[in-house]
Structure 1
Amino acid sequence: MIDQLLVKVGMADLNIACDGAQLKTTGLGSCVGLTLFDPLERIGGMAHVMLPSSEIAREAKVNLAKYADTAIPELLERMIAAGAKRERLKAKMAGGAQMFAMSSQSDTLRIGPRNVESCTSILSAYHIPILSRDTGGSFGRTIELDSSNGILRIKSMQYGVKEI
Structure 2
Amino acid sequence: MEIIKIGMADLGVAKPPSKLRTTGLGSCVGVVLYDQTHKIAGMAHVMLPESSLAKSGELTIGKYADTAIPHLINLMEKAGAQTRNIVAKIAGGAQMFAFLGNSDTMRIGPRNVEACKQALKDAHIKIVAEDTGGNCGRTIEMDATNGVLQIRTVNQGVKEV
| TM-score band, normalised by shorter chain | over 0.9
Which of 20, 35, 40 is the matching residue for 2:37? 40
Deviation at residue 156 of structure 1 after TM alignment: 1.6
Residues 1:17 and 2:18 are matched in the alignment: no
**Deviant stretches of 4+, over 6 Å:** none
**How many correspondences in the alignment?**
161
Deviation at residue 103 of structure 1 after TM alignment: 4.5
Structure 1 spans left out of the alignment, 5+ residues: none
Which of 132, 135, 139 is the matching residue for 1:135? 132
Structure 2 spans left out of the alignment, 5+ residues: none
TM-score, normalised to structure 1, is 0.96
Find the residue that maps to 2:120 and give its secondary structure: helix
Alignment of 1:1-164 (within 5 A): 4-164=1-161
Find the residue that maps to 1:158 and give its secondary structure: coil
1 CA distance for matches of 2:122 and 2:100? Answer: 33
Deviation at residue 104 of structure 1 after TM alignment: 2.5
Q: Percent identity?
A: 54
2 CA distance for matches of 1:104 and 1:149? Answer: 41
**Equivalent position amino acid for 2:146 in 1:** N
2 CA distance for matches of 1:136 and 1:130? Answer: 16
2 CA distance for matches of 1:79 and 1:14? Answer: 11
1 CA distance for matches of 2:78 and 2:9? Answer: 21
Deviation at residue 157 of structure 1 after TM alignment: 2.2
Find the residue that maps to 2:62 and give its secondary structure: helix
Please give the per-residue CA displacement for 1:108-158, whole angstroms capped at 9, x wherever unaligned.
100000000000011111110000100000000000000011100000221
